[in-house]
Amino acid sequence: MTEGPALARVRAAYRRIAETDRPEIWIDLRPQPDVEAEARALDARAAAGERLPLAGTALAVKGNIDVAGLPTTAGCPGYAYRPEQDAGAVARLRATGAIVLGTTNLDQFATGLVGTRSPYGAVRNAVDPTRVSGGSSSGSAVAVALGIADLALGTDTAGSGRVPAALNGVVGLKPTYGAVPTSGVVPACRSLDCVSVFARTVAEAELAHALLVDGPPEPPARRAGPWRIAVPDPDQLGELDPGWDIVWAAAVRRLADAGAELLPLDLTPFSCAAELLYQGAFVAERYTAVGAFVESHAGKEYLDPVVAAIVTAARDIPAHRLFVDQERLARLRAAALAELGDADALLLPTTPGHPTLDEVAADPVGVNSRMGRFTNSTNLFGLCALAVPAGTVGAGLPFGVMLIGRPHTEDRLGSVAGLLTGPAPVRLAVVGAHLSGEPLNGQLLDLGARLVESTTTAPEYRLHALATSPSKPGLVRVAEGGAAIQAEVWELPAEGLGRLLAALPEPMALGRVRLADGSAVTGFLCEGVALAGAPDITAHGGWRAYRAASGRVPGAGPAGPSGAG
């Protein structure tokens, strides 16, 4: 029986979990048979005509958000409890077809921006495992970045839904406070906490946000450009890691080149408010949330010492300091909104740098504090934000920027982000000469393509060995008697795909190829006329296996077109 899309996606997710071998991502991973049973039921509902916008979407959930049947730990085993029902945000996504894989690791009690403050282990960066993944929603961001999950839920109080997005090259959407229900969420600072979304693209994040919100947002003043973007003077950004000023300036230029009007902005009120979050009285709310537990379990091995010190120190902040800080914050917010003026968004780097695990170990408080320089003020001011990838820096590390807007302007931020990211990259399935290590793989690399996943096609195809040079196969879809063929999915710029198509020789063609998870992507197919006399090699399961069995050397073959495969 052919797998339904949801079941295929679940199986692909668990294969990816095994491939990546990153156990520190998870606190509790659901047993695969249980998740497959849920997927089969979803496939049946979808086949019956039920509208499920997220049907088969693989979802990861931060470990301080309730998932029925799994313990909620907030990153602390001794705190764990087993909820009887899903948190409001989880329930809404599940109702539209999302499938929860498990709960993810985090900085304990959502206190941190590094992803290392957990007895379950430090969550390593998706691109460079010697560096931090960012916190506190570390596991959720890395699960999406590594292609395990399509969407993930995090929380954001000081930047926890944006910092890990930037450091792992994914999208992080922090909604307006109160727009997404926080029922079933272990609080960090209840008056500031937001449930955030991680996704690979802005469009996927926006869809999830639309399904999560309590009600329709207030319509923004404008929904179309030309966009007015506030940008601070580079001198106000403070010290950045080497090279970060260059990629930041490039992001600003992209906005200007795309027609945005850049407006000057004094960052001072934002920076002053950012310091208030931990250095002022507002941190006392963290003691309100979990202070009694931390004090009654002092010295236990499952309490992170840095987190425990932050929470317990907040106990002794006098009440009068809170009122002083509230008054100061009100003045700073008024000044910040005046600076924002009629701009559609404020553009900032998401973080000032990307520390290593060793740097955090040497200075856990100082390095963590630096990470919140640009994110800490957003929730204090009641604003929304969208963190998006904006290139790479250094040895291929992700660099991200953040768009901050007035309440309920998330859709506007998404539109502006399109100016930064340009046309969405396209995915291309390859089964032959363009596979990693094969003779034509260099064509993809020259176009800026990156490998997304190793997978198989849906069981609907036959594979034939063509008489070409270099040697390559021809993939054809059949009505019956098909099989799953080993494939790789690569992501490349849209213009790169156009260049491939323009140079594509006969008998190759580009078409839609269905994958094991039920999705369809552009892929290399073969014209039927070329199959006469071409051996059917489907039984080998893929091009590499055929070559290994037949002893064929990569690139060997009779003279012929050098097309793709």
129-174: pLDDT as tens digits? 999 999 999 999 999 999 999 999 999 999 999 999 999 999 999 9
Residue 497: pLDDT band (50, 70, 90) is confident
> Which has the higher per-residue pLDDT, 454 or 3?
454
Instruction: Read off the pLDDT of residues 20-33 as tens digits, 9 standing for 90 and up.
Output: 999 999 999 999 99
Considering only CA atoms, which of 443, 539, 553 is closest in space to residue 497? 443
In this predicted structure, what is the pLDDT of residue 2?
60
pLDDT of residue 565: 55
With a CB cutoff of 8 Å and minimum separation 6, the contacts of 196 are 137, 153, 154, 155, 156, 160, 161, 162, 172, 173, 174, 175
Look up 472 and say whether it is catalytic: no
Give the residue-averaged pLDDT of 513-535: 87
First to last CA, the chain: 28
Structure tokens at 240: 């950045």
pLDDT of residue 552: 57
Q: Considering only 268-272, 364-368, 379-383, 435-439, which range has the smallest mean pLDDT? A: 435-439
- CA separation, residue 539 to residues 450, 480, 542 (Å): 29, 15, 8
**Mean pLDDT, the chain, integer:** 91
pLDDT band at residue 216, thresholds of 50, 70 and 90? very low
Whole-number pLDDT of residue 555: 45
Number of helices (H), then strands (E), belonging to the chain: the values are 18, 18
Query: pTM to 2 decimals?
Result: 0.77
CATH number of 25-30+53-421: 3.90.1300.10
Is the pLDDT score of 564 beyond 50? no
**Hey, what's the torsion of the CAs at 146, 151, 152, 153, to 10 degrees?**
160
pLDDT at residue 424, as a whole number: 60
Percent of the chain topping pLDDT 70: 94
| Beta strands at 171-174 and 194-199: parallel, antiparallel or unpaired | antiparallel
Strands 397-405 and 345-349: antiparallel
Per-residue HEC secondary structure of 113-140 comes to CCCCCCCCCCCECCCCCCEECCCCCHHH
- pLDDT over 60 at 563, yes or no: no
Contacts with 32 (C-beta within 8 Å, 6 or more apart), sequence order: 10, 11, 14
> Is 62 annotated in the active site?
yes
**pLDDT-derived band of residue 521, with 50, 70 and 90 as boundaries?**
confident
Residue 550 pLDDT: 80
SS3 455: strand
Residue 179's pLDDT band (cuts 50, 70, 90): very high
- Positions of E strands within 3-72: 26-29, 58-62
With 90 as the cut, is the pLDDT of residue 180 above it? yes
| pLDDT of 402 | 98
SS3 percent helix, strand, coil of the chain, rounded to 5, is 40, 20, 40
Give the pLDDT of residue 338.
98
Confidence of residue 224 (pLDDT cuts 50, 70, 90): low
How much is the pLDDT for 422?
64
Taking the C-alpha atoms of residue 489 and residue 253, their distance in angstroms, rounded to an integer, is 31
State the DSSP H helix or E strand holding residue 272, giving kind and residue range, or none if neither.
Answer: helix 268-279
Lowest average pLDDT, out of 244-258, 456-470, 514-528, goes to 514-528
Domain 426-550: which topology? Answer: Hypothetical upf0131 protein ytfp (3.10.490)
Burial class (CB in 10 A: 0-12, 13-18, 19+), 52: middle
Q: Are the beta carbons of 538 and 474 closer than 8 angstroms?
A: no
Q: How, if at all, do strands 426-430 and 450-456 pair?
A: unpaired
pLDDT of 222 > 60? The answer is no
- Token pair for 224: 């179309």
What is the spatial distance between Cα 493 and Cα 498, in angstroms, rounded to a whole number? 9
Q: Pick the catalytic residue: 118, 133, 136, 138?
A: 136
What tens digit of pLDDT does each residue of 74-94 get? Answer: 999 999 999 999 999 999 999
Cα 36 to Cα 7: distance, rounded to the nearest angstrom: 6
Measured from the Cβ of residue 39, the count of other Cβ atoms closer than 10 Å reads 25
| Catalytic residue (choose from 133, 138, 140, 160) | 160
In sequence order, which ranges of 314-363 are alpha helices (DSSP H)? Answer: 319-340, 357-362
How is 164-216 classified by DSSP, letter by letter? HHHHHT-EEEEPPTTSS--TTB--SSTTT-EEEEEESSHHHHHHHHHHH-SSP
Please state whether beta strands 151-156 and 194-199 pair in parallel, antiparallel, or not at all (unpaired).
antiparallel
Smallest CA-to-CA distance from 74 within 294, 256, 237, 269 is with 294
Look at 105-119, 211-225, 329-343, 483-497 and tell me which has the smallest mean pLDDT.
211-225
Average pLDDT over residues 29-44: 96
pLDDT confidence of residue 558: 33
Which residue has tokens 């800490």? Answer: 376
Per-residue confidence (pLDDT) for residue 150, from 0 to 100: 94
User: What's CA 422's distance to the chain center, in Å?
Assistant: 18
Task: Give the pLDDT confidence of 288-336 residue by residue, as tens digits.
Answer: 999 999 999 999 999 999 999 999 999 999 999 999 999 999 999 999 9
Nearest to 466 by CA among 563, 343, 361: 563
The fraction of the chain above a pLDDT of 90, given in percent, is: 76
Contacts of 352 (CB under 8 A, 6+ apart): 237, 238, 239, 240, 241, 244, 370, 371, 373, 374
Amino acid present at 66: D
Q: Which residues pair with 230 in a beta bridge?
A: 263, 346
Closest C-alpha among 247, 253, 214 to residue 231: 253
pLDDT of 508 above 60: yes
Flag whether pLDDT at 557 surpasses 50: no
User: What residues does each domain of the chain span?
Assistant: 25-30+53-421, 426-550
